[in-house]
Chain A
């Protein structure tokens, strides 16, 4: 047996109101891909931050090459050969690729930055990550996937032996994901160890040599390569058997509730959109990143104005100029970015849940109706089973899944007719994910029309009564429940070309 490169032993970390990690251990050998999986709030991110020197543990030991180390800063982590590739990339977009790779440790020549050394060394390290761009290219002009590989190149040029990748594929297209996998496998072959954090079990199956599962801030178990399968992972993550992910039965939809006729969005002025969603229907919207799904939802919710065309809710034309008008027409939106758009993180759970409904439930002269507020918040917390110590807790201290329940729940008091959801379960753990799916189903059962955009294929296939697929701003096709398949969706999402699946 090889000697472990990195050992984490019995690490504990507390935050206000939460025990983030409780005696967690983890071992990483040279040249392996270790997947760390767990529901949101299981402690993965905290553990990774500790390894990267962003946070220090309250107790426990970390050994590198068998030597106990203290990782007090990101610099210390880098010196030990540990690099974290963040979920949100940390590049300076206004600088070129070479400058980013050597940011903070620029090679010098007589005190001046040596552009030539940067150029040459960048070139060779970019080659290692399979990226064929000139080091002089501005980072802003690269795609997300390319930027991510620049980050990996940056880590490699600092002689990283341990790469920690936090949900690396969460905003990549499938082509970019394939390219990333190739890089990961390549690096593993060259002796780099990779800690791979992901919610996507398919990726874990494909990449991981071993899996460490965390649950509620503790070790839930480890799996060897041949033990990794869907059921074993899910069982360890949620601590119970799951027969099925989704159980969407066939529905008989009602009257048309949301109709979109010849709608032209400012993002894609070349294409008119037409579709109709009936009461009680759950319609999925698939497509690659940048296909125009978010842009369409923004127009429906009044964040952007349509260039032309019409929107009808229950047969009545609406042309929302802002979210207020959309809401009063019965449209609700769960936006893509929970922390930036969905929540006011520092405000209490109660205040977040009641924000849209304050106006409707106000007393004379705009006075807050505190009795309603408290009642509404408590009801929603109980109904949605939001895990929070009390309704005055700031939303930032909740796990991703519970935060997302707030973002969905805050619209329930508004009795919407149309529920729009943009990536409803991104960064949400399996347990909360299922609760959100159940919530979507119960809303549909009440006769609400639901339109959700998702990059998660399983979700689109499992939840949709019907789905349409977008590509570069137009709807390339519509699939009924029976026609839905991964191949059919991918064919349409890539603009009609048949995609070869490996």
Chain B
């Protein structure tokens, strides 16, 4: 019993990603066609060359037919999957294993979400009929529990913590402003972020990721075949996933300053990739900044900062686009937007661009290893995905 990983056995040879945002003129099927068309072109393959598909969407459709019908895929396996906000990454992980197993030569992982048709503020999800006793907190409320807990545990006063989380939002907007595909493409003054209308707890509107429509896709093959499709493939070093037992909901010792699921999935991923010191060895990361305080806590759970020190690293600019360890160089969920099923693959799209030197104005100098991290659920009860990729 062990997690062996598939280091350097699978390559990503093509990717596509739509702009994220309010696509009033496009349905989920249109977004899927846009992302897949880009990905086929990027890998220089005809659709017929792809042997199997994994489609991630939280709620913009059901079954593989959502994809096969939109793309007129003729009688091939299309798996539809869902793992909350980590859905897109799950499509990639399962597709990668299919290639590694030798079952298929060329596969595609696709994610999509169409959120802006609901007419509601924030994220809306349906759940099976229940007894009416489940907590009805909104996503920002659940994640806002992190901020006062972190402040208390590490003796950071709430004013300073507000500065810290506002700086995270500011940084991600600065990055997103340089990204033509991001939902929000302008820098936002830090004072405006700090004074934005309250949504939940310490969070204002600018502490929350964008609700958006979008789709992203990746084409994968065995590493030895990668150069048939592109001169600059990227290689999967690690894929890890952890679903928690909801310990934080039951155990009084859980203090809302960490995601154990992230700690565990990172440990597995670093072991697979041979990373001993993530703070030094990971060149860049796309992490699940659904809310600003989430990104703060993630820096510690992922080993980028020591416990209780991430707030200082944030203020020091360590994770800025031009800092020593850029985090969310594409703008993150905050600025790029968060169409649930597409986000994990959007993160990988940034790794694809950065590792190939195609990230334009936000290109990081000579990145070696990139990390993507995707979280679904809430503090104390969540799923966590981590990948490490490199050249």
| Binding partners A and B | no
